[in-house]
Amino acid sequence: MEEVRQVGVVGCGVMGAGIVDVCAQAGLDVRVVVSARPSVDRARARVLKSVDNRVRKGLLSEQDRDALLERVSFTDDFAELRDRQFVVEAVPEDEEAKRLVLKEVDAVVESDDAVIASTTSSIPITALARGVERPERVIGAHFFNPAPAMRLVELTAGLLTAQDARVRTEAFVTEVLGKRVVWCQDRAGFVVNSLLVPYLLSGIRMLESGFAAAEDIDAGMELGCAHPMGPLRLCDLIGLDVVTAVARAMYEEYKEPLYSPPSLLLRMVDAGLLGRKTGRGFHDYRR
């Protein structure tokens, strides 16, 4: 089995930039595809921010940072993925958007041995591979934020995913990227979000009902249960729009009330109060 050395990443938001950082740190040639030429500079800035964060923490030298960044290139042309051996889709958690990206990547990547991975945190892989000409090479690889620091990657095979793609993906994620993997059935939410999302939504409902203040809800779980972050702060870190998208996908599949997004969450998303990335969510990060 040929070793993966050339990687593509489609989308360069917070998660995409972190995955680019992880792959480049592993010595890989990384090509980033964004939606339009004006997005290239923003994508480059996000990757630089991710890398510089590790420099500030003493985890990476400035010399190694410069060498890492030289291994990353940016484009708005999907055709430049043609020689990639492993391509990661990292666009927002929207089923139709992800499906279109996977279909376009499949159309340009030339090697039948190449793997096309989606970072979805909630959408079944079989659904995302619908319409892809070669669905046998589509797989789920859910990284966690921040990708350079979080060791876990959830892997999910669709009903049509080939065994070779499974083996190749696990070897790449564990041996090349140095991550720990867990395998999940192809069901909405996979392992982590099936457990996490009801907990997060419960915290939001507690705030919505006036049961307790946001600071107290978070302090209760941080100090009383030794969680590193309370549910509302964690929502702010993930992004309230992402939490909503994941909850909706899970509710659509299971129709369980515990997965239904609370009204407060929906109104905050409508208002653009998405958490840390907008400066304000359940807590205020502008000061």
Q: Shortest CA distance to 187 belongs to which of 97, 247, 127?
A: 127
- Which residue is catalytic, options 89, 93, 95, 154? 154
Catalytic residue, candidates 93, 95, 118, 121: 121
Distance CA 178, CA 25 (A): 11
Question: Are the C-beta atoms of residues 111 and 123 closer than 8 Å to each other?
Answer: no
Copy the structure tokens of residue 139. Answer: 């797989």
Catalytic annotation present for 142? yes
Q: Residue 110 catalytic?
A: no
CA–CA separation, 148 and 131 (whole Å): 32
Active-site hit among 89, 93, 95, 142? 142
Determine if residue 61 is labeled as part of a ligand binding site: no
Pull the structure tokens for residue 49.
Answer: 């921010």
Q: Do 282 and 207 meet the contact criterion of CB atoms below 8 Å apart? A: yes
121 catalytic per annotation: yes
Known binding residue 50? Answer is yes
Using CA atoms, how far apart are residues 253 and 255, in angstroms rounded to an integer?
6
Task: Give the whole-angstrom CA distance, residue 186 versus residue 246.
Answer: 15
Residue 179 among known ligand-binding residues:
no
Could you tell me which of 151, 131, 129, 152 has the C-alpha nearest to residue 140?
A: 129
- Give the length of the chain: 287
**Long-range residue pairs from 281-285, CB within 8 A, at least 24 positions apart, any chain:** 281/232, 281/235, 281/236, 281/240, 282/204, 282/207, 282/214, 282/232, 282/233, 282/235, 282/236, 283/214, 283/215, 283/232, 283/233, 283/236, 285/236
Specify whether 193 is catalytic.
yes
Token pair listed for 160: 């049509």
Catalytic residues: 121, 142, 154, 193
Which residue ranges make up the annotated binding site?
50, 57, 121
Which residue ranges make up the annotated binding site for CoA?
50, 57, 121
